[in-house]
Every structure is written in structure tokens, then in C-alpha cells.
Structure 1
């Protein structure tokens, strides 16, 4: 018999004062969770489910089998864990509010920009500069397309694409992440000035990646994808996509720690669009608050994804801004710390308005004054 436990935030409050303190600040951010579902999964099926608030969570945890009691206690602590800022070169990126990561693709077959920045470093430099000016906290540079059906890229070609972009972004003083699954590319990128390893294979593709990241002491982003080989979208077979992705990310988190990577340097990404149907993507997005129970900062990469087109009369990639903003706001409402996006200026504006609303809610007392 195999038991697993999950503590899923269900509802939010505008602030703790609105519910007399009976709320949890998710991930140390700007979102407060009010009600929770404690879900016991046995042999892959949900066996029991309890509803509670923070004030009566202890009574629910006391009912759990010994097999999951320690994990449940850890998840409850993780939900409210505040994450320290990331120090990325000269830049400090705080994780107590949503931050925007701007995408710079230097590939010939990017689904979003069609290779506009590959052989035109001036255009790439201008795009990176514009994203930084618009408020991007991090520039994420990728030299290999990971869309479904995209061919694998030779490591030498990937280096030739990525390193010049790292160098010109570094010269701007940018905080830089490199979207690669190859340790050789990552090592060269670190030497050129990159700060973060963003690995869509969660460091399964190249066994050297964990060792390299641990030695560098850099943050790593571990993304869920079902594929084990070149095709990261292959082999998807979920009993329950939300719980299965949660368990998978927990395993990769623990593997990273075992390899010598500090917990403070691990960011997790549920991998929207990678080996998942529309229904599965929607389920993950609706369940995003659950992933705070893993105890790590979260990244959401849903910008311009195919699911937006599927929900919008097959809108072309360049016509998915509205859907991208909607998903970014969904991520912010779930307490996600990092938003990986193509449309930086628009997302930053949406974030700033959202943040204003959250700030105002903390001082918005609904009680009528006494007369």
C-alpha cells in the first residue's frame, strides 16, 4: 500500500485582517490562502479528503496515518515559507512579489519570433535592452527550440547561438538565465556571465548538469516534462496530472539536494504545455497554489502557449497577448514568484496594477465604523 499526502490551498483572502488572521501567506508573497484541502492518496486514488482553515489544520493533521504525517507537517510549513532574494551578479531579485523573466530566443525556429534574433545581434541586444527597461528582472536566453516535434540541436550550434547573447546581456548588467539541457552549454554560459540554469529536462538529459550547478552555487530551474530522451513531450501517462507532476517535482527537488544543490537555489516549474493536453494544462494552472507545498519558489511559463490558441479560435502566436496576460494573472493569484513571458512591458504593467490591488487590500477594512 502506497500513501501520499497533498495540502492544496482552495480559496484566498484579500489579507489576513479580512479573516481575523486565519490565513497563510503563500510562499512569503502577496497572496493569502484561507481554506485548504488535505488529500490522502492511496495506491494512486484519492482515499480521503478533509477541508479546513489554518485554525483547525492541526486537528486534521492529527488524523493522518503515520506513513504521511511527517510529509504533511513539512508541506504545511512549506506553504508559508518565505524565500530569500536571489543575488544574480549585480542584481538582487526579490521573491516576495511576482517577478517577470523576459524571453530571448536565439534559434532559427522559435515558435514566437521566427528566429529574428539569431543572426542579428543588434536586434537581440535591442530586444534585451527593451525588456530590461520595461521591467524584466531576468533575461532568459535559449538556443534550442523545445516545441513539439522540434529537432535536437548540436551542442556546438547551441553554444554559437547562446554565448554572444549572454555576453551582450552581461554587458548590460542583466541577470541572466540560460535555457539549456546541456552541461557544456551551461558551463560556457556561466563563464560568459550567466547566473541561472533553466533546464527543461530538470537536469535529467545531461548527468553532469547537477554537478556543474552545485559547483557554481547558482540557482537552478527544474521543469516537469514527461519525456526522457530528445522528445520531452513523449511518454505522458498520468493517473492524476496534478498529483503526478507534484510528486515528480518533489523527486527532482530531492535529487538536486542530494547532488549538492542548496534548497535556496532550487526553483520549480510545472511545465505547462510539455506533454500535456489542454485539460491537463488547465488542471495544473488551477492547482498552482498546491505547488507551494514543495517549499520552493515557482516559475510559470505559459506565455503564447498553444493552449491559448486552443481556447481562442486557434489564434496565431502573435495574437495571444490577451490569453498570455490572463495566465500571468492566474499565476500571480496563485502566488507564483517568476513569470517567464515574451511580452514583458504588458506583463509588467499587469503585474504593477495587480500589486497595487494587493497592497490596497492589506489596508482595506470592510467593517463599518462605529457610530
Structure 2
């Protein structure tokens, strides 16, 4: 059992409490931006702000600069541990010039950093955008392409920022129809391991790496459901694992629900991932997601009840 596991957990089987997965992390305590996380006892909630006219879920609701800043500041005020800001969707679409992407995200990062100590991440696969965002306060670069451009790793290595490496198969902004896997969890884990090795070789220590299996990214609903069931296998790398499940199509197709009606399914998926070892969940509904994750922490014995009065 890892030395980082508290003594009160030692009565359970290694890596589990009551059947819940407790991943053995190589560096569970992390300073990310201006906050410190202990991922042995904490599940962080990442809010989402997309400054795009064609975002997957909100369809441009926060595309205007003032709306994006307002949403980011409100997410922090609502208790989000971290806010993820994106300027280009993952989905296939027209190319956006690097300067235009930077113009979308950098002002939001700068404004949020001035208002809050919340962790700020930028969802980008471009090295130049990452560099500009880090310069004004971004503490995390969230790369949904899994280092399609290895220069991104160099930018992160030359900073104090953390890198999220996500599993996907497509060239950025290009379609990848009918993805095929013989063993979806095993192949995702193998690809993430290769990308982690690349990041380390480019100078990023594993204490500044997080992995994301990429729910729905170049995966169909059946594949994503299997990946979710086997989420505990993804903790084998010893790195915190992020689950980006909010309002995705695997939820809509499983429940026959349109995007506005996927909150309950999203909370169920995020909670399942958390109980199988996820340590960051990326969610649209901030307050509801915070309550869900704090409840998971309470059930696991990591967080005391706020008002333990019942039958006292």
C-alpha cells in the first residue's frame, strides 16, 4: 500500500474503501496555480466556459467577451475548483487562425485571474495559444488532442503549468468516422501511456501531468460506456484522471435525452467515474456537480458533515 494512504484506510484492501477505487498516485498533493489539491482525499470540479459561437452544449451563450468573463467569475464564486476556458471546439469544423483563438481566450484568462484564485485552464492544442494564456494566468493547458503538436509540451515544460493529456484519434478539427477498438480501455490506456512518456521526455515532470480518457472523443456510445465501466483501469498510470462527461452524447443516447435534459445522467456518470478513481470532473452545472462530489467525499470519509444533527 502506498505511504500516502492514511492509516485509517489501512484496514481495507489496498486501493479500495468499501469497494470504491482509491488510485495510488505518484504525486497526489499538487500545487496548481494558486491552489493546493490532495487527490488522495479530494475530487476537483472543473467548470466549463466556451468562448465559441458553435460550442457543443451552450451553442455560443458565452461567446461575447463580457458573457464569458461573467460566466467564469460566477463559476468561481459558485465554488468551482477550476475553470476551463476554450476558444475552439473539439468537433470537426473550419480552421480558426491561432491569433483569433488567442484573442478569444487570453482576455478571459486575464480577467478571471484578476478576480479569483481559482485554477484556470485553457482548452487548446496550439503551443502559441498555450504560451499566451500561461503568461496571463493560466495554470493548466487542457489538450484534447493528446499532444498532436509536441511543441505544446515544450511550452508547458518551460513554465510551471500542468498539462492534461486527453485520448483522441482525429487530427484537430477533422472527422474520424466509425472508430474501432478491440479493447477500448486497454487501447486508451496504452495511447495515454505513450503520450505521457512523450511529455516527460520533453521535460514535464509527472507531478504536472493529468490524463483524460476522452469520453465520446472518437468513440461511440457503446465504447464510451465500456470505458466508463472500466474507468478504474485508467488509474494504472499513477496520475490523476479527469472525467469530462458533462452532457455528452453517450448520455443523451443512453437515456434518449436532448442536451438540455442530460443533467441527471451527467451527475450519475461523473459520480460513477469518481467512485472508480476520477479525481477531476469537468462539468457544466457547477453547483449540482459540487454537491455531488462533496457528497462522494463525505461517503468516503474524507469530508465531515457540515451539520451532523440528525438523531444526535
Which TM-score applies when normalising by structure 1? 0.74
RMSD: 2.5
Shift of 1:132: 1.2
2:42 alignment partner, SS class: coil
Assess if the C-alpha contact under 8 Å between 1:143 and 1:179 holds in 2.
yes
Aligned partner of residue 280 in structure 1, secondary structure: helix
Contact 1:103 1:139 survives alignment (8 Å): yes
Check whether the contact 2:144–2:167 (CA below 8 A) recurs between aligned residues: yes
Contact 1:98 1:335 in 2 (8 A): no
**Could you tell me how far apart the structure 1 residues matched to 2:112 and 2:248 are?**
25
Aligned partners of 1:321 and 1:343 also within 8 Å: yes
Displacement of 1:94: 3.0
Q: TM-score, normalised by structure 2?
A: 0.88
Unaligned runs of 5+ in 1: 1-14, 36-77, 363-371
> Do 2:28 and 2:38's aligned partners in 1 also have CA atoms closer than 8 Å?
yes
Residues 253-305 of structure 1: CA distance to partner in whole angstroms, max 9, x if unpaired? 11111111101111000000111111100110001111111111100001000
The 1-side partners of 2:18 and 2:128 are apart by: 41
> Residue 89 of structure 1: CA displacement?
3.0
The aligned residue for residue 48 of structure 2 is 103
Structure 1, residues 188-234: CA drift from partner, whole Å, max 9, x if none? 10111111111011111x23111111111321000000113542645
Q: Which moved more, 1:315-324 or 1:89-98?
A: 89-98
Partner Cα distance (1:300, 1:155) in 2? 27
Are residues 232 and 87 of structure 1, via their aligned partners in 2, closer, same or farther at CA, if it must alter by over 3 Å? farther
Deviations 1:74-124 (A, max 9, x none): xxxx952353333233222332311100001000101211112222x3322
Range moving further from structure 2, 138-147 or 351-360: 351-360
Q: Are residues 1:354 and 2:296 paired?
A: yes
The answer as to whether partners of 1:24 and 1:32 remain within 8 angstroms in 2 is: no
Which deviates the most, 121-130 or 99-108?
121-130
Which of the two has higher C-alpha Rg? 1
In structure 2, C-alpha distance between the alignment counterparts of 1:223 and 1:201, rounded to whole Å: 6
Please give the alpha-carbon distance, in whole angstroms, between the structure 1 residues aligned to 2:69 and 2:182. Answer: 44
Shift of 1:141: 0.4
Alignment deviations for residues 11-55 of structure 1 (CA, whole Å, 9 cap, x no partner): xxxx9989x8351236xxxx56589xxxxxxxxxxxxxxxxxxxx
**Within the alignment, does 1:81 sit opposite 2:8 as a pair?**
no
CA distance in 1, matches of 2:19, 2:7: 9
CA contact (8 A) 1:178 1:198 kept: yes
1:357 Cα deviation (Å)? Answer: 1.7
**How do 1:224-235 residues align onto structure 2 when only pairs under 5 Å count?**
224-231=167-174, 233-234=176-177
Question: Which of residues 133, 156, 161 in structure 2 aligns to 1:218?
Answer: 161
**Structure-to-structure mapping, 1:138-149, within 5 angstroms:** 138-147=82-91, 149=92
Gaps spanning 5+ residues in structure 2: where? 1-5, 305-312
Instruction: Show the counterpart of 1:155.
Output: 98
